[in-house]
Amino acid sequence: MTRTSPELAGLLVSRKHPNREMPSKTDYLSSHWPPVVRELGCELLRQLAAGEPFQPTFYPAISGVLADFRPGAIAIVRQRGKDWSPEPTFNVDSDFRLAAVPEVVISAALDAPFLLHDSGWVAAAIDSNDTAPGLLVVQVPRSAVKQADALRPLLIGLAQLAGLLIQIAGNETARDAEIQRLTTMLEIAATWQQQRDWAELLESMAEAATQLLDAQRASIFLWDRRRSLLVGRPAMGVEGGQLEVDDSAGIVGAVLSSGIAKRWDGSDSESEVNRKPDAQLQFQTTSLVAVPLNNRNGKRMGVFEVLNKRDGRFTEQDEHVLQELAVHAAAAIENSQERERLAQNCDQLALAAAENVQVIGESAAVVALRKTTDRVAKTDLSVLILGENGTGKEVLARSIHLTGPRRREPFIAVNCAAIVETLLESELFGHEKGAFTDAHEARAGKFEIANGGTLFLDEIGDMSLGGQAKLLRALEEKVIVRVGGFTSINTDVRVLAATNQPLAELVRQKRFREDLYFRLNVVTLKLPALRERGDDILLLAQHFLEDFAHKQGHRVPTLSSAAQQALKSHPWPGNIRELRNLIERVSYLCSSDIIQASDLTFSASPSDQSDSQRLAHKSLNEATRQFQIQHIQSAIQRAGHNMTEAAAMLGVHRSNLYRKMKQLDLETMDD
């Protein structure tokens, strides 16, 4: 026998292994071929090298080689599962009918390199390194049966050539398929990384696996070590969409414990399979491939399983594809778990923070306010918070943010009164580098920073008309443009605004835009002044006492009843801020466990200097009442809580002072 022609060898080397020897198997096969087969091989391989498919010429060429034997039907048949069928990637000879081939030819030919049947059917085994066995089947007239010796090397050579061509073409297809597969895999993995919904993520993984492996179903089993269970999703037909199986049961359990991928089909032992899930899902598993899911530290997380190959059995290639998919799936699952953990942490922090910013109080006004706040917090409505200075408007805004759906996102407060008009636009919307003299760097504005969260616009009543127009545009269009920039930036912020000014009055005076007023004022929450909150003063005082004692590591002091009375009867022009400051001062300066009324030195509020200003919006009756309260309290304080002395200072009889105090709802104290 001659060795492979340099032409053929060169052809293969240049296509597959530019710097290596030709594969020895190919060399061996071709060296045994009859010259006519070798020539045909050269031609067909040249065709392949030129990128042309060899299949269309394969059958006519075989007919040519076997011309002396006057062949009838010619076919390549492959076994998939239990069944044989003509190889679909070749042009099937239209004369060929598989049913016409005697069964023994098919069943016996795989065990012998060549088989010639009396009926005239000849078969030779094809070795294409493929998992599906194949045969070259040819029908010759009965008269040709006697020429078996001549026919034998030709048919064996042609079958080997067919095997080689299938293998090379298969590799070609595999290479293209590999590129296609890798591209698909990367695309899929990229979408998984963005997937936020846990159930959707697992479903999309299962769908990708069924598509790539041409299978019916797929499940991702995650290991619940504590409960020794594998929790599988998706699980159609099961309540909650998830299936729980014993972590040591069946093939999935075996893959989990060994970390080794496994393929199974009906021809393997039935006892390996756990049929419980089938029963639960009303499904019949006929074949499966399962691979381990490991996290980035190599620790087992679960198993990725694909069921029922649509055509035949799962191949080694399928197993590799699933293994690769499992690497991406594990990374996406881990990221998603990480994200979920972070989100839970954020939620816990938000809850802890929300507890610290509760609107404390049991007065009717505050209870009603809390009720409305709870409802409003769950929505995305704009809220206008009204109330005097220091009544807790910002605290209320924070509590709305922290108990609402945006709690994981930022809460950004802007004090509109503190920003000069020229800088307001840049503060809210940001600026590009060089937009104005001091813009040395590009900077995001509060709208961008608060994106996804809440923007709290404090002192909104102090915003200039120009600023109001720009703010309104941003709120209406939900789009901003940085100062000096051209790009529109979408924004998604919930706006809470607050003011201590009578905003409706400002609208009437044309100092506040009506359209902005209605845009901000979808819901109004009004914080009552502290002096109107009765016993809330004591609750708040207690809250601050505990807070400061905790900070200093001291025991919480108690308020004497006289001190409580003094707190309740103070007019609180500075509201909660004033109360907090007072308690802070007392907490640090008073060393006793009981705080006496004499320990409470109310600071002179700036508003004290202008009572007429503070009372400007009150009716004459209310203004008189408040003046009397303040005047009496001040006298009592100056008299060191000696009521006789205080009455003398006020120029009234002691009993009249008591009567007056009752009339003013001031609690009376013992001398």
Given the rule CB under 6 A, which residues bind ligand ATP? 358-360, 387, 389-395, 458, 500, 576-577, 580
Torsions phi, psi for 66 (to 5 deg): -95, 15
- Residue bearing tokens 């703010």: 471
Side-chain half-sphere exposure of 255, counting CA atoms within 13 A: 30
Of the pair 168, 576, the CB lying nearest ligand ATP is at 576
Q: Kindly provide the residue ranges of all beta strands, DSSP E only, lying in 500-646, ordered along the sequence.
A: 523-526, 558-559, 594-595
CA distance 476 to 468: 12
Instruction: Write down the least CB distance from residue 579 to ligand ATP, Å.
Output: 8
Supply 540's token pair: 């708040």
| Beta strand extents in 491-583 (DSSP E only) | 494-499, 523-526, 558-559
Residue 503 C-beta: closest distance to ligand ATP, Å = 13
The residue nearest ligand ATP at its CB is 392
Min separation Cβ 561 and ligand ATP, Å: 24
Q: What's the rounded Cα separation, in Å, for the pair 278 and 283?
A: 5
CA 275 – CA 287 distance, rounded (Å): 12
265, 286 contact by CB (below 8 A):
yes
Instruction: Tell me the closest approach of the beta carbon of residue 455 to ligand ATP, in angstroms.
Output: 15
Q: Which two tokens stand for residue 195?
A: 């997937």
Nearest distance from C-beta of residue 392 to ligand ATP, angstroms: 3
CA distance 58 to 206: 40
Q: C-beta of 576: minimal distance to ligand ATP in Å?
A: 4
What is the nearest approach in angstroms of ligand ATP to the Cβ of residue 527?
A: 7
Helix ranges (DSSP H) in 23-73:
24-32, 35-49, 55-65
Exposure string of 629-655, with b = 16+ CB inside 10 Å and e = fewer, is: bbebbbbbbebebebebbbebbebeee
CB of residue 358 vs ligand ATP: minimum separation in angstroms?
A: 6
Q: Which is nearer to ligand ATP, 391 or 565 (CB)?
A: 391
Cβ proximity to ligand ATP: between 120 and 461 the closer is: 461
CB of 606 to ligand ATP, least distance (A): 12
- Non-local (6+) Cβ contacts of 78 within 8 A are 84, 85, 86, 87, 130, 132, 133, 134
* Closest distance of CB 536 from ligand ATP, Å: 9
* In the complex, minimum distance from the CB of residue 359 to ligand ATP, in angstroms, rounded to a whole number: 5
Letter string b/e over residues 405-443, b meaning 16 or more CB atoms within 10 A of that residue's CB: ebbebebbbbebeebeeeebbbbbbbbbeebeeebeeeb
Question: For residue 566, what are its two tokens?
Answer: 């003094």
The H-or-E segment that residue 85 falls in is: strand 83-86
Of the candidates 394, 438, 398, the one whose C-alpha atom is nearest the C-alpha of residue 416 is 394
Find the shortest distance in angstroms from Cβ 379 to ligand ATP. 21
Kindly write down the DSSP assignment for every residue of 573-603, as one continuous string: TTHHHHHHHHHHHHHHH--SSEE-GGG----
Q: How far is the CB of 394 from ligand ATP (least distance, A)?
A: 3
CA dist 659 and 650 (Å) reads: 14
Specify the residue, 273 or 384, whose C-beta has the smaller distance to ligand ATP: 384
Between 208 and 359, CB nearer to ligand ATP: 359
Q: Is the peptide bond before 86 cis (omega within 30 degrees of 0)?
A: no
In the complex with ligand ATP, which residue's Cβ is closer, 392 or 430?
Answer: 392
**Residue 99 or residue 616: which is nearer to ligand ATP going by CB?**
616
Kindly state the smallest distance separating residue 621's Cβ from ligand ATP, in Å. Answer: 26
The residue among 308 and 500 lying less far from ligand ATP, judged by its C-beta, is 500
Encoding tokens for residue 311?
């055509």
- In this complex, which beta carbon is closest to ligand ATP, that of residue 529 or of residue 649? 529
E strand or H helix at 521: none
What span, in angstroms and rounded, lies between the C-alpha atoms of 635 and 637? Answer: 5
In one letter, which amino acid is 579? L
Please, what is the minimum distance in Å from the beta carbon of residue 506 to ligand ATP? 16
Q: H helices then E strands: how many in the chain?
A: 24, 22
Instruction: Name the residue nearer to ligand ATP (CB basis): 392 or 467.
Output: 392
Close Cβ partners of 621 (under 8 Å, ≥ 6 residues apart): none
Cα(608)–Cα(610) distance, rounded to whole angstroms?
5
Of the candidates 289, 284, 203, 285, the one whose C-alpha atom is nearest the C-alpha of residue 241 is 203
In angstroms, what is the minimal distance from the CB of 540 to ligand ATP?
Answer: 7
Residue closer to ligand ATP, measured from CB, 292 or 392 = 392
H, E, C per residue of 384-428: EEECCCCCCHHHHHHHHHHHCCCCCCCEEEEEHHHCCHHHHHHHH
| Whole-angstrom distance, CA of residue 223 vs CA of residue 230 | 5
Nearer to ligand ATP, 277 or 387 (CB): 387
